[in-house]
Chains A and B, each alone.
Chain A
Amino acid sequence: MNPIPHWGIFITEPMILGSDVMIVLVSVAIVFALTKFRKWGWLWREWLTTVDHKKIGIMYLIAALLMLFRGGVDAELMRTQLALPNMTFLDAEHYDEIFTTHGTIMILFMAMPFIFAMFNIAVPLQIGARDVAYPYLNAISFWMFFLGALLLNISFVIGGSPDAGWTSYPPLSELGFSNGPGENYYLLALSISGIGSIATGINFLVTILKMRAPGMTLWRMPLFTWSVLAACILILFAFPALTVALALLLLDRALGAHFFTILHGGDPMMFINLFWIWGHPEVYIVILPAFGIFSEVISTFSKKATFGYGSMVFALMAISIVGFLTWVHHFFTMGSGADVNTFFAIATMVIAIPTGVKVFNWLFTMYRGRIRMSLPMMWAIAFIPCFAIGGATGVMLAVAPADYQYHNSYFLIAHFHQVLIGGTVFGMLAGMYYWWPKMFGFLLNERLGRWAFWFFNIGFYVCFLPQYALGFMGMTRRIYTYPSGLGWTVPNFISTIGAYLMGIGFVFMVWQIIYSIKYGERDLTGDPWDGRTLEWSLPSPAPHYNFATIPTIQGRDAWWLAKQGELSKADFLPAKDELKPIHMPKNSGRPFILSLWFFVLGLGLTFGVVPMDVIAGIGIAYCLFRRSFEYDTDYYIPVDEVIHTESALGRLQG
């Protein structure tokens, strides 16, 4: 594919040299610390080999926050370059690399692991299950994502980052125009993590359909679980299209095929078509779980059942189906013809209806509720106006003839940041604050969290509202500098200030987490928010088997009803004579090792090193073969141990 680049690539640029030195120093520090405190065994036993959904969820969360940092640094670099006309802070090549990695990382390696963190942390606890349907596969999903993310992130220091945009349109992304390894990194990193995403979709769909506690009918499921079900449907039917688009582009680059080339009958537009068959559902994949979190948070912090539960469910399902019928609105300007554009424009506008239903339901849930302004609720409330503006500009973009004006302008940039930050990021932060005590057993400091909230929110509007204006003034996306005298200077400068404010907000968030690890208030009740759903009936953090006895569910928001005395609270506490040995999956190191082989395979394919690919292929085959012949995959926790754990938590009855 590509010859091995000269080793000089490691030292040619001061920026890259600096990153190299940083990576080496940080790696040495980590290795030193792990060795000094004798933590290698702990790392392997407790984390690298775990199949426990709660720990996998925590690892997803850490990875998502790290990637939010990396993508955020990319954003700050870009905004710095654009703050004033004719800046030379970044050159064109670096700017291209940075906007490409910013988009790729934020969507695939920040938003996706963030929603998967929430899936893992909340879903099994909400439905009364002891783990997901396939715990071993769940670990594979995480490590495939993690090593895929690593593969993309090392591109900057080894060989160069991709620079054809996060959408990677051919012919620019074909070998003739992007002949470095960067584009290969992109294709392989996304393919590897995509395998993990599809597996997660299958895993959680089956978990929700088959592993609910007795009595928890579909119509008694919490709305977050419903939103995960809808997101899983989207993942299952959207991600294979991405796999195909990436694979065909890789065939063009690696074997000289002609799917998307200009020569020999190739058609670049087919890539764009396949990419957005995945790409549009993808934005609903990352927004629907956020909708689910808002439903949980708003109902809990208003002390009311969600208004219009049934219409919420129908809205989620409608979005997950109609979301598949709108993809052409990303390329109206391709010129498919008036009939095609009209169909997809109308389908896009139709999506606004179920979304609007949801917004009104949240407002009516708050109406006459006893509202508590805790951090999760603040992020949920901030979401509503933000998403309303983003949705309205989205409908503007959906008008196909008008889109010819807005297409690829900063108006579009402002729109999708408004829905992706205002929707997904606010939602995930609300979820993080909401379930943090359940994950770690302590609460995050409220005061620092408020500083983070206000910096991030004010910064958000300061950053993105000027960009709508810039779009109307003709500024297009992906330009690395602009001349003075166009009237773009002031809005760009304001926008950059906003980006810095958001950065300060993030710093407060990190400070909040570090501070709270040391001084945070312990959550001894297991139910710090006076919650409604099943996860709050467990101690924080939950024991590794979750439920000592699986409760029988007799209503929607059953835990709330029990606290109100309408149902028996004793159903949620284990009785000594009802305990049985608990069936659990064994930990395994193979998911990690298997994913490492995929990483090696990806690296080998990126640089066209055939022996590396062959060795990695053998490694993968060996791992799969060993798994197939492994029959000893589970064990039982004896009753004595359950009694011991539950008595120590003061929960055992009888």
Chain B
Amino acid sequence: MSGQHPSTAHATPSFPWQYVIGFILSLVLTVIPLWLVLDHVWKPTPLVIGILLCAVLQIFVQLFMFMHFTHGDGNGPAYQTVILSIGFFFAIIFIGASIWIMSFGYQVQ
């Protein structure tokens, strides 16, 4: 019953390097924006761009290091890469466009 055991065809390394590197990267990408905000070195606009950039990089760390984003079942394409990419596209559209559309009400407190 090979089915009961993980197959040898997908040999797993004995130390979880991928997860450890991912974890370290995620810590670094959290500390950097925290430091940028608390230290007030940058002006607001570059600061916001900087910390959002770190957050976007964090998505990639989680997706590629932890979530096996590009792995499929080996039968046909890994469709989730397409579907989630469309999802991120629409998420950005909905947030960005809502801010744009609703900006007429900025004076409302």
Contacts and interface: CB of A to CB of B under 8 A. Distances in A.
Interface in B59-73: none
Interface string B88-109: 0010011001101111110011
Contact of B102 (A209, A237, A270): A270
Contact of A237 (B87, B98, B105): B87
A209 B79 contact: yes
B94 A277 contact: yes
Contact of A269 (B76, B94, B102): B102
Contacts of B24: none
Contacts of A107: none
Contact of A273 (B90, B102, B108): B102
A270 B93 CA distance: 15
A268 B108 CA distance: 12
Nearest to A277: B94
Contacts, number: 43
A352 B87 CA distance: 24
Contacts of B87: 236-237
A210 interface: yes
Nearest to A328: B101
Given A269-B105, A277-B94, A233 B86 contact: yes
B101 A325 contact: no
Nearest to A320: B86
A648 B70 CA distance: 47
Nearest to A267: B105
B94 A241 contact: yes
A337 B103 CA distance: 9
A233 B82 CA distance: 11
Contacts of A337: 103-104
Nearest to B98: A273
Contact of A335 (B76, B79, B98, B104): B104
A209 B108 CA distance: 47
A336 B104 CA distance: 6
A210 B93 CA distance: 28
Q: Which of the four size classes fits the interface of chain A?
A: 20 to 34
Interface residues of B, number: 18
Interface string B4-30: 000000000000000000000000000
Contacts of A273: 98, 101-102
Contacts of B101: 273, 328, 336, 340
B101 to A, nearest CB: 5
A259 interface: no
A324 interface: yes
A265 B106 CA distance: 11
Interface string A257-276: 00000000101011001100
A269 B108 CA distance: 12
A210 B98 contact: no
Nearest to A274: B98
A274 B101 CA distance: 11
B105 to A, nearest CB: 6
Interface in A320-371: 324-325, 328, 334-337, 340
Contact of A267 (B76, B97, B102): B102
Interface in A300-326: 324-325
Most A C-beta atoms less than 10 A away, residue of B97, B100, B108: B97
A236 to B, nearest CB: 8
B55 to A, nearest CB: 21
A267 B86 CA distance: 29
Nearest to A324: B90
Contacts of A340: 100-101
Given A233-B86, A237-B87, A325-B93, A210 B76 contact: yes
B64 to A, nearest CB: 22
B94 to A, nearest CB: 6
Interface string A194-208: 000000000001000
Contact of A324 (B93, B98, B102, B108): B93
Nearest to B79: A209
Given A328-B101, A340-B100, A267 B108 contact: yes
B76 A237 contact: no
Nearest to A321: B86
Contact of B90 (A209, A237, A267, A328): A237
A338 B46 CA distance: 29
19 contacts: A205-B83, A236-B83, A237-B87, A237-B90, A267-B105, A267-B108, A270-B98, A273-B98, A273-B102, A274-B98, A277-B94, A277-B98, A325-B93, A334-B104, A336-B100, A336-B101, A336-B102, A340-B100, A340-B101
**7 smallest A-B Cβ distances: which pairs?**
A237-B90, A336-B101, A209-B79, A336-B104, A340-B101, A273-B98, A267-B105
